[in-house]
Amino acid sequence: MAQKRIFLSPPHLSGNEQMYVNEAFATNWIAPTGPNVSQFEENMAKYVQTKSSVAVSSGTAAIHLALLLLNVQKGDLVFCSTLTFVASANPIVYVGADPVFIDSEEESWNMSPLALERALHEAKKNRRLPKAVIVVHLFGQSAKMNEILAICHQYNVPVIEDAAESLGSEYQGRKSGSLGSFGIYSFNGNKIITTSGGGMLVSDDVERLNHAKYLAAQARDPLPFYQHQTVGYNYRMSNVLAGVGIAQLQVLDERVEAKRALFVRYKESLRHIEHIQFMPELAGTKSNRWLTTFTIDEKEKVTEILNALEKENIEARRVWKPLHTQPVFSSCRYYPHLEYKSVSDQLFTKGLCLPSGTSMSEQDQDRVIDIVDSVCHSFKKRGIVQ
């Protein structure tokens, strides 16, 4: 019989969730937004140290709202990291704007300041600067924010941080997602903490976030009857799910340490294998190590490792397929790191994410390690590694 399945990053409850959910039921505050939502927002803003936050139904909705707050419209340009999940860029299309994709650099695997600079320089020359830049912090690792913010400041373009994967991570002592004009988080089931589904928009711009709350609740004017001056959205988080979020946030720091410990154990156990390189941690940053990720020198090896893991009922994944290579975005512009070097394409070809659930036992982690180890050993025996 097949062994129990090991998932990539399954939900890990703290035990306190039920209490907040029960309270919502006991007070019949199932919907709409209620005390759990306000509490969760307050706790999140305090945790990431922003002045305000808005709890919404998904990370994708939070990105959509951020674009609306920046008045991004049909025909506008929005720059976005290419090495990411498709949800980073979909909202650009929701508002009718055109995405332009920016490559990664090797030290953080995130947005290349060089490629960004080139793209902005060219956009200015064409008199078509982007309305926003969406910077993603991949697998928990913060992008080079000092460089990116400086360049964007020079061209006067606001930055939205897609911190869906990097809640709890730090950049020079500040929480990832709190450095740009807006930051977004996701509480989807596979993220470091979850509300089963949900997201958060954060910012120091209290006025704009109040407008986000208005837009996210069907843009209803504060009148005794239903009146609307603009098109709104049904994007608010439910009071039940916010209860789950409150309890999850209480254990976030523990989860970060657990993910980091998993990473260290993988790295120590696999360090003897040649040609494996674990995702780096940029100096001055602390990654939440949402997923332990490494590259190996050949595409075929990635396939072989993934197949071996799947055969043993273990879920592992490739690194995100860059958005500039996605059929849905085939007509979009792309700026590689160097004119003739695309870093994200290489990371996709050679990259692999290992199961990184914080509830995973050492025995389960050993199952993963043993398989990766034996497949890599077989490469050597077959002379695939010189």
Ligand X SMILES: *Cc1c(COP(=O)(O)O)cnc(C)c1O
Our finding on whether 108 is near ligand X (CB under 6 A) is no
Near ligand X by CB under 6 A: residue from 186, 239, 295, 356: 186
Our finding on whether 160 is near ligand X (CB under 6 A) is no
Q: How far is the CB of 136 from ligand X (least distance, A)?
A: 5
Query: How many residues of this chain bind ligand X (CB under 6 A)?
Result: 14
Near ligand X by CB under 6 A: residue from 76, 105, 165, 281: 165
**Neighbouring-strand partners of residue 174:** 171
Q: How far is the CB of 81 from ligand X (least distance, A)?
A: 8
Nearer to ligand X, 76 or 165 (CB): 165
- Tokens, residue 178: 């709190």
Our finding on whether 141 is near ligand X (CB under 6 A) is no
- Tokens, residue 128: 């078509």
The C-alpha atoms of residue 111 and residue 134 are separated, in whole angstroms, by: 9
Our finding on whether 164 is near ligand X (CB under 6 A) is yes
Q: Which sign does the torsion angle of CA 326, 202, 138, 167 carry?
A: negative
Nearer to ligand X, 84 or 123 (CB): 84
Burial of 71 from C-beta contacts in 10 A (0-12 / 13-18 / 19+): exposed
Our finding on whether 195 is near ligand X (CB under 6 A) is no
Our finding on whether 162 is near ligand X (CB under 6 A) is yes
* Cβ contact 6:313 at 8 Å: yes
Nearer to ligand X, 80 or 371 (CB): 80
Nearer to ligand X, 191 or 337 (CB): 191
Near ligand X by CB under 6 A: residue from 130, 168, 180, 199: 199
Our finding on whether 293 is near ligand X (CB under 6 A) is no
Q: How far is the CB of 137 from ligand X (least distance, A)?
A: 8
Q: How far is the CB of 142 from ligand X (least distance, A)?
A: 13
**Neighbouring-strand partners of residue 104:** 111
Helix pair 35-48, 239-250: axis angle to 10 deg = 30
* Residues of span 47-106 touching ligand X by CB under 6 A: 58-60, 84-85, 87-88
Nearer to ligand X, 246 or 375 (CB): 246
**Neighbouring-strand partners of residue 217:** 234
Q: How far is the CB of 188 from ligand X (least distance, A)?
A: 4
Nearer to ligand X, 281 or 301 (CB): 281
Stretch that binds ligand X, among 17-25, 111-119, 162-170, 301-309 (CB under 6 A): 162-170
Our finding on whether 188 is near ligand X (CB under 6 A) is yes
Chain-centroid distance, C-alpha 13: 20
Q: How far is the CB of 90 from ligand X (least distance, A)?
A: 9
Q: How far is the CB of 169 from ligand X (least distance, A)?
A: 13
- Tokens, residue 209: 């976030």
Our finding on whether 136 is near ligand X (CB under 6 A) is yes
φ, ψ for residue 6 (rounded to 5)?
-105, 120
| Residue sitting closest to ligand X (CB) | 59
Nearer to ligand X, 83 or 302 (CB): 83
Nearer to ligand X, 105 or 165 (CB): 165
Q: How far is the CB of 196 from ligand X (least distance, A)?
A: 10
* Residues of span 330-359 touching ligand X by CB under 6 A: none
Nearer to ligand X, 182 or 379 (CB): 182
The C-alpha atoms of residue 272 and residue 219 are separated, in whole angstroms, by: 58
Nearer to ligand X, 64 or 260 (CB): 64
Where on the chain is the footprint of ligand X (CB under 6 A)? 58-60, 84-85, 87-88, 136, 162, 164-165, 186, 188, 199
